[in-house]
Structure 1
Amino acid sequence: MDHLIEKSLLSIDLNNRIVMHNMIREMGENVIREEYANSRIWLPEEVSDLLKGKLVSNI
């Protein structure tokens, strides 16, 4: 974990919580979205489409 903090991929906030760099989080979301289509709803646009009936979810 120290190595990831050193590389600025993780940090510790003022409340002692581990915080992941946004780019790493987005990369993980993209991997999930590509491999497991519609298994998670991440983007506000996807939520809107789901509620409008334009997106089918496997949840």
Structure 2
Amino acid sequence: MEATEEEAMPHSQRMIAICRTAACAANGIPYPGTYYAAPEPPIYRGVCMGCGQPITDLVPVRE
């Protein structure tokens, strides 16, 4: 869907997400991805696809 003149394109950021849930198979494994800004904090959010828990370790990719 294209943004209209009234509607600004959401700001995106390349981030590295790391799940910190002890019982998750993805625990400690960094996964890069594109995240979009949310209207309220935390501004960038992610959910682990392995366990469904919120990602608490989400940092910008340094290019």
What is the TM-score normalised by the length of structure 1? Answer: 0.23
What is the TM-score normalised by the length of structure 2? Answer: 0.22
More RCO (CA 8 Å, sep 6+): 2
